Amino acid sequence: MKSVDAHLAEVLATIRPLAPLEMELERALGTTLAEDVSSPVPLPPFDNSAMDGYAVRSADLAGIPVTLPVVDDVAAGSGELRAVGPGHTVRIMTGAPVPPGADAVVPVEWTDGGTASVVINRGAAAGNAIRRAGEDVQAGEIVLKSGTVIGPTQLGILAGVGRRRVWVRPRPRVVVIATGAELVEPGTTLGPGQIWDSNSYTLAAAVRHAGGESFRVGIVGDDPVDFLDQLDAQLVRADLVITSGGVSMGAYEPVKEALSPLGTVRFERVAMQPGMPQGFGVVGEDHVPIFALPGNPVSSFVSFVLFVEPALRKMKGLPVAPHTLTRATTVGPLRSPEGRRSYLRGVLSSDGTVAPVHGQGSHQLAALATANSLIVVPEDVTELPAGTVVEVLPL
Ligand code: AMP
Ligand code: MG
């Protein structure tokens, strides 16, 4: 059997970062910046007022309280500015350019708020309530580096430096295909022997969670020819394909039957539980990577976490580091098969304990849904009593 680490290494050796493309800002959320972005101008571009108030020469405030005539009004966006002469003031709003001559802003709260003339009750030093040009960013300064994931605030600064389009590595487009003659869509009535397809929902959501775009393809039965037809039809829009089911040792294993003859997808036994049967390789002219995951719901999800998620990170141009494990004390005994690394479902608490959930079968989707972590039991360990410190992978 192949080790989990060897399988991941082989996956990552095949996966390539997606090529950068230029994208409209509106679509760039969740992508990875593929250029260093600098600002063409200083930010703020000009000295402006931090408060609503009065632009003054600070020297005029020596004998507080003082009364000054108000000679102009500057709103944010004003282009034409009248200079503030000695003994005068200009009413100014937040974000409005500071007029020439003025060296401080007196907040309206320190005055009587007058419009023709104003009584100022408190002195202000030079520079008071003025936001200086370039205080945030100098002209030509890099504001975001290549490799940054674009979240809401990163989108904000891209717009803030005037960009409409940016070079990014896009969110990987992932096609998810569930196979199984027993599967029907949720929302329909179950016939004898049927179950509702849950894997394609879990996997498509996990892809989105991991920063990809997912497309759920309708259920494919257990006919390898149908499966290949569907796969062919979907490849045009796929940077990656994930299938579930049809890869184990039984009869009616459409994914294995269809892909094995291609010679570009390997089906192997990986030393883990759940998720022992794994298929991985490339398909189509463009060598699109494909993960053929086992059908049991817990198996396909754990496989996603261990292998697909790192692959998506690499496709997005992000560094792939080993999963960060934490340590916790198990409150229940654990069992694991000899020679396989187990990923048991657990509830990790803030008190440093982890409780294995009831129902550790690889079909027990409800139990999985109550877990927030995977308890990792090494290959050479078969039993651990309650009270043991174990390694845990938070989900
Ligand atoms: P397979 O890998 O196709 O042999 O499927 C293994 C087990 O997982 C069987 O009990 C299937 O019914 C179940 N299974 C396969 N695909 C799905 C799916 N999309 N949703 C829920 N259960 C599934
Ligand atoms: Mg099946």
Other Cβ atoms closer than 10 A to 109? 11
CB 384 within 8 A of CB 330: yes
Distance 47 CA to ligand 1 centre (A): 64
Residue 250: the pLDDT is 84
Compute the distance from residue 4 Cα to the ligand 2 centre, in Å. Answer: 23
Q: Of all helices (H) and strands (E), which one includes residue 312?
A: helix 309-315
Ligand in closest contact with the CA of 278: 1
Across the chain, which has 395 residues, the per-10-residue mean pLDDT values are: 97 98 97 98 98 98 96 94 96 98 98 98 97 98 98 98 98 98 97 98 98 94 96 96 94 94 96 97 97 98 98 97 95 97 98 97 97 98 98 97
Tokens of 300: 């396909």
Give residue 218's pLDDT.
Answer: 82
Please give the structure tokens belonging to residue 351: 């008190």
| Nearest atom in ligand 1 to 253's CA | 3
Nearby residues of 221 by Cβ (< 8 Å), 6 or more positions away: 179, 180, 181, 254
Residues 89, 93, 98: CA angle, nearest 5 degrees: 60
> Rounded distance, CA 279 to CA 243, Å?
9
- Distance, in Å, from the CA atom of 270 to the CA atom of 221, rounded to the nearest integer, reads 25
Q: What is the pTM of this model?
A: 0.92
Closest CA to 253 of 294, 300, 297, 298: 294
Q: Is the CB of 199 under 6 A from ligand 1?
A: yes
Of the candidates 243, 286, 237, 238, the one whose C-alpha atom is nearest the C-alpha of residue 267 is 243
Question: How far does the centroid of ligand 2 lie from the alpha carbon of residue 206, in Å?
Answer: 21
Q: Tell me if 292 CB under 6 Å of ligand 1.
A: no
Residue identifier of the C-alpha nearest atom 17 of ligand 1 = 295
Order of strands across the sheet that contains 32-33? 21-24, 165-169, 32-33
- Please tell me the number of the ligand nearest to residue 297's CA: 1
Distance CA 349, CA 21 (A): 42
Cβ of 129 less than 6 Å from ligand 1: no
* Contact 295 CB / ligand 1 (< 6 Å): yes
* Count of CB atoms situated within 10 Å of the CB of 249: 10
Predicted pLDDT of residue 272 = 98
8 Å CB contact between 288 and 350? no
Q: Ligand 1 pocket: which of 176, 179, 183 to mutate (most atoms <8 Å of CB)? A: 183
